[in-house]
Amino acid sequence: MLPESAPAAPPEKMEIVPLSRAGELPAKGRETASTWGRRLLIAAVLVWFAALILVPGAALVRQAFANGWEPLAAALAEPEVKRAFVMSVGLALIATVVNTVFGIVMALVLVRQRFFGRTLIDGIVDLPFAVSPIVAGLMLIVLYGPESPIGGWLEARGFQVIYALPGMVLATMFVTVPFVVRELSPILRELGEEYEQAAYTLGAGRWRTFRSVTLPSIRWGVAYGVTLTVARCLGEFGAVLVVSGNVVGRTQTATLYIADGIDSFHPEGAYAASLVLAAASFLLLVGMDLLRHRLEGAREVEP
Amino acid sequence: MEAGASAARRRARPELALRGAGLTYLGIMVVLPIVAMAWQAARPGPAAFWAAITEPYAWHALKLTLTTAFVMVFVGAVTGTATAWVLVRYEFPGRGLVNALIDLPFAVPTVVTGLMLVALYGPDSVLGAIMARGGWKVIYDQPGIILALLFVTYPFVIRSVQPVLLAMDRAEEEAAATLGAGPFTTFLRVTLPTLWPSILTGSALAFSRALGEYGSVVMVAGNQPLLTRTAPIHIFGEIESGNRDGALAVSAVLLAASLLVLVILHALQRRGEERDAS
């Protein structure tokens, strides 16, 4: 009756496949494009991909370099830009560390423990995916804003959450809660408990078992989840925008700086910062692809 | 007996601590804000709530968000299925590269997405100028919203269908072909019924994401009331102008719609599991 004891899920079942394994492909396409119909279909798919993803990316690069290297370098050297990037990286660092620890803990709890309400909790973990970033920001204002009981209490003690740094940290953390849990759960489930129990029987403590048995088996999954989390943190806009308020000279993240640049007719800075963010996300994507091959390799060895 | 029971209890203690820590964080980070918002949104009472969402600007924003999301889902389901099909089934140059780049929209910040689309299709671009001459306006208009939504949700259907296609047993397709069915009939009658649940899953996730999308849409379509102001943009405007009750009401509708989609998806998944088990 337990779904976990069932053999590998049949493919017809509706399920959300974690991103790390959803991109697997057979080493070679099974068929070459032998007929005109197939060639046409391939061409249509590639044209769509190019028009939607590839060419807009190229257009951004072109626009950023519109006046050559020097204005680009000058735009990036502005102290405001540097501060914005330091801010983005700092927020990403905090949110990623916290949510990675939480993600490992929660995945272990959800996969290894049986308790009342487990299915519900499993659904709640995914909730931030269903919440608009703007609504997420509004939630934090309602909960921690100066007019709320908690926010009022904190403010009376000189601790401001909303329209300040702690609010931005909370917003970034909220939107990235599910990533690591979602990538780890299926890996932990497939791994099974035998190795852990063996280590435990041989006298290893819980921490030792986790460190030398569980963690090495899930590390690539953790890395994949971390990559997704970092990407989302660096790109978060709506939630951080709402909680950071509209104060002139407020603490900005890179994405806020970009939006401000466009609004205030200072597009050079916006395009320059966008280029840096796009390059960062491209690197993260390359990392994801490498990790995916690692994970595929690990699965083929184990079975 | 006594000793055994207390040993079991002692062993269970770290597990309880782990569960307690995880649930506490989840409660504070996710449950508490959602409950607080629902509470505040319900406080003015049903009449005021109804008035807040049927007010012309809010109503238009909600309608626009739903329509654009529906158009996106329809286009995305067709193109996504075709893309997954081509990637898994056929060999062509650049296949690995395309596969790696599919997830790009998950890595690129939404604001950057918006700028990319403006740079390519905007009024100042070559393409935008050509389209303007033909009377076509994409950027700073409603088609731009759909374009942005298609970009940010691009991987969902592909990555949902791809593993199913990969694991699919092709004996049935081959049997259909042997029996004289053309490739199109085979796809429609044999392949599609197998792919259907995964297409639906990907589409539901994409739809839910599209309802809340802000960064890319606001860059591409601007904030023109009654034209390109989607629900998230409307909510932000209401927060900025201090109308918190209005913002909360529209937020509650948006959140409820998104949750409804995911709950239906979950229910269908459960039903699929039960059917598989029996």
Which residues fall within 8 angstroms of residue B100, CB to CB, at 6 or more apart? A23, A285, A286, A289
Residues facing residue A32 across a β-bridge: B91
Whether residue B58 is found in the same domain as residue B137:
yes
Please list every residue in chain A whose beta carbon sits closer than 8 Å to the beta carbon of residue B164: 11-12
Q: What is the pTM of this model?
A: 0.92
Instruction: Please report residues of A whose CB lies closer than 8 A to that of B234.
Output: none
Segment holding B91, helix H or strand E: strand B90-91
Q: Whole domain around residue B2: which residue ranges?
A: 1-42
Interface test with A, best of B111, B113, B124 (most A CBs within 10 A): B111
- Tell whether B28 and B55 lie within a shared domain: no
Mean pLDDT of B187-215: 93
Quickly state the pLDDT bin for A11 (edges 50, 70, 90).
very low
Q: Which residue of A138, A143, A154, A265 is the best one to mutate when testing the B interface, meaning the one whose CB has the most B CBs within 10 A?
A: A138
Give, to the nearest 10 degrees, the angle between helix A254-263 and helix A215-235: 20
Same domain, yes or no, for B53 and B21? no
Between B169 and B91, residue with greater pLDDT: B91
State the ipTM, two decimals.
Answer: 0.91
Are both B175 and B78 inside the same structural domain?
Answer: yes
With CB atoms and an 8 Å threshold, state whether A113 touches B15.
Answer: yes
Q: Are residues B30 and B117 located together in one domain of the fold?
A: no
Q: How far apart are CA A240 and CA A260, in angstroms?
A: 13
User: Which pLDDT value is given to residue B253?
Assistant: 97
Domain count, chain B: 2
User: Residue B96: its chain A contacts at CB < 8 A?
Assistant: 25
Other C-beta atoms within 10 Å of A7: how many?
Answer: 5
pLDDT digits (tens, 9 = 90+) for B169-181: 788 888 888 888 8
Together in a domain, B30 and B76 = no
pLDDT band at B256 (very low <50, low <70, confident <90, very high): very high
With CB atoms and an 8 Å threshold, state whether A281 touches B108.
Answer: yes
Contact B164 A138 (CB under 8 A): no
Please answer yes or no on whether B30 and A127 come within 8 Å at the CB atom: yes
pLDDT at A5: 37
Percentage of residues in chain A having pLDDT higher than 90: 60
Q: Do A246 and B240 touch (CB under 8 A)?
A: yes
Query: What CATH number did the domain enclosing B207 receive?
Result: 1.10.3720.10
pLDDT at residue A246, rounded to an integer: 59
Tens digit of pLDDT for each residue in A244-256? 875 556 678 999 9
Strands (DSSP E) found in chain A: 31-32
Would you call B90 helix, strand, or coil by DSSP?
Answer: strand
Q: What is the nearest CA distance from B50 to chain A, expressed in angstroms?
A: 19
By CB neighbour count within 10 A (0-12 exposed, 13-18 middle, 19+ buried), where does A87 fall?
buried
Of A25, A237, A259, the CB nearest to B88: A25
Residue B227, chain A, CB below 8 Å: the answer is no
pLDDT tens digits, one per residue of A79-124? 989 999 999 999 999 999 999 999 999 999 999 999 999 989 998 9
Question: Is residue B31 domain-shared with residue B137, that is, in the same domain?
Answer: no
- From the list B151, B194, B214, the residue facing A133 with the nearest CB is B214
Look at residues B12, B27, B42 and tell me which one is the last residue of a structural domain.
B42
A11: closest CA of chain B, how far (Å):
5
pLDDT over 70 at B3, yes or no: no
Shared domain for B153 and B35, answered yes or no, is no
Is residue B52 located within the same domain as residue B11?
Answer: no
Phi–psi pair at A191, nearest 5 degrees = -60, -35
Q: How confident is the model at residue A291 (pLDDT cuts 50, 70, 90)?
A: very high
A56–B151 C-beta distance less than 8 A: yes
Percentage of chain B beyond pLDDT 90 is 67
CB A123 within 8 A of CB B266: yes
Task: Identify whether residues B69 and B130 lie together within a single domain.
Answer: yes
Q: Kindly give, in sequence order, each residue whose CB lies less than 8 Å from that of residue A153, ignoring residues fewer than 6 positions away.
A: none
- B169 and B262 co-located in one domain: yes
Question: Do B95 and B25 fall within a single domain?
Answer: no
